[in-house]
Structure 1
């Protein structure tokens, strides 16, 4: 570790997602590309910060602050990790940018594309790095899947993708201040978990990072309870006929099969599985064998396909690749992520904006 480049993090908020991220930053990994230092932690009180630091980074001694602003103004911080609820991202990013800090901000990056554009414009003007923390795109599993789909074309041309994220939450029993219930915080299944379903679709139907990706035709429906969006279904149709079906809900558990995404191609299909779309573990390629004649069959016959499983080991909570890649971006002087460039974040937000427009979900200030 002593020979590795070092990055100093400022952690903003002491919530669950921040705890997972920090746990991974301090992991002792033989394959680490960067030495991560927790330089400072900002919370609403020093007591919260002390408890957080003791539990999640006991091997380091970060500077503790009773406000986020003090983290932004800490001259020893190289990059700020923002793990606040969606509704605060716009505010927190702009404050960190004003202080001249590089930023990794949790997904969903903002409430809407308009907010995101303002943040990116501010970052460009200030010449600082900023990226959305969509950790899924950094995972070796996701990147290998992209390689097999778009370079090796193991299932031919991708024609259709389906992905679903289902979580059962008892939202009525939660306090009104919960991020699952407070519209000012971005409450709703789409921004929280539906963004993963859309990311799996993008992995098959779009070239990652393309600034010229055309917005697909979108047909969407949403269900609300007590003013909170609890279910979303969207069909994305591209000019060449490719289709994606994205769904999410906080009203049901995930499928018992643990398969949450399926890619259909002209020469086979791929099934992705795991405990949830945010924590994938493996995928199975079903490639049609030559001269199998399966294209003429109505029903799927396993005998006509070559099956190959790809399994990926768990490493910490799964944030290690995102942390390393982001740190290297900053250390090498980049202003955008190689894995999640601004255009990618904007594109997904524009899709979610249209889904919400059709579904009738509106957040305060829009």
Structure 2
């Protein structure tokens, strides 16, 4: 992989973790950061020794030195921000959820293909080595045929305005529920035959917590929970005909424990050493750009769109539409 020059659009908490990760990566040069506040961009640039700070997203998008832009803005802004970057010839790594809805996601992907540029969703767990380990353990047959899975991801974050404002496409689903859906997709694929769900809404009208049951061809089922109001163990558990496996932290795979039919631990896998876990999506993006691809094989556009469509259907069931959706 040749050295890639990257800019960050947005200067919030996730952007800071990304920046801290990138400055530790030998083949990555973090060139610029943009915020709608020049002061905030300058403070961020100073913290991570970034040479350029911009007070507008347009300036970053037009910087001829930058090849790839990481979008770290609220969900409601992803489509607009991605199109700005693509129109200015920049490859895009876009924070999850990729867009506010499937229609926006299709627009973004179509424009990237038209411009022959990479766009990929920063669903970081998809790029991690542990994702492949999970697949291999299942393929080995040690737990037999996986038929049921459960996954939960809940944080105490209901006080954050970004997560409860409809104008910013807030709610548990797009922020943390998307991880549970990706976990189910990673294990069972996307051939869903039925979607059932329940929701509890915030006073602002977005989902505070939800429960989702997906049924697949062959009678497989995924039961998923996410919330902004409670803390959870973040586990993903896959139940098979000969045993089961417990994955610690579906938001950054930490370990896998495999149990037999007597509930004895028979195998354990630990996460390899990492900077933060974010480095894998950056490496994958750089590799795809080098190969002239418009998508990353670890997170194909088809999967991004499948999950966006599932989230659209869930919000339809809950009667949640964002103001900008009309």
TM-score (norm 2): 0.95
Q: Residues of 1 paired with 2:293 and 2:141: CA distance?
A: 31
Q: Residues of 2 paired with 1:53 and 1:216: CA distance?
A: 48
For residues 58-137 of structure 1, the aligned pairs below 5 Å read: 58=49, 61-137=50-126
Corresponding position: 1:37 with 2:29:
yes
- CA deviation vs aligned residue, 1:101-135 (integer Å, no higher than 9, x gap): 11000000001111101111111111111000000
Contact 1:13 1:84 in 2 (8 A): yes
Q: Which residue of 2 aligns with 1:357?
A: 316
Q: Which residue of 2 aligns with 1:283?
A: 256
1:264 is displaced (CA, Å) by 0.8
Q: Residues of 2 paired with 1:165 and 1:314: CA distance?
A: 23
Q: Which residue of 1 aligns with 2:238?
A: 263
Q: Residues of 1 paired with 2:114 and 2:282: CA distance?
A: 25
Q: Residues of 2 paired with 1:247 and 1:145: CA distance?
A: 20
Residue from 170, 185, 193 that aligns with 1:187: 170
Contact 2:257 2:265 in 1 (8 A): no
Aligned pair count?
324
For residues 143-154 of structure 1, the aligned pairs below 5 Å read: 143-149=132-138, 151-154=139-142
Moved over 4 A (4+): none
State the SS of the aligned residue for 1:180.
Answer: helix
Q: Which residue of 2 aligns with 1:330?
A: 289
* Structure 2 gaps, min length 5: none
Whichever of the two has the greater Rg, that structure is 1
State the SS of the aligned residue for 1:9.
Answer: strand
Q: Residues of 1 paired with 2:324 and 2:53: CA distance?
A: 33
Q: Residues of 2 paired with 1:164 and 1:112: CA distance?
A: 22
State the SS of the aligned residue for 1:307.
Answer: strand
Corresponding position: 1:272 with 2:247:
yes
For residues 207-226 of structure 1, the aligned pairs below 5 Å read: 213-226=190-203
Q: Which has the higher helix share?
A: 2
1:334 is displaced (CA, Å) by 1.0
Q: Which residue of 2 aligns with 1:229?
A: 207
Contact 1:42 1:65 in 2 (8 A): yes
Range that drifts further, 221-230 or 340-349: 221-230
1:314 is displaced (CA, Å) by 4.5
1:137–1:119 CA distance, 2 compared to 1 (3 A): same
1:232 is displaced (CA, Å) by 0.8
CA-based RMSD: 1.6
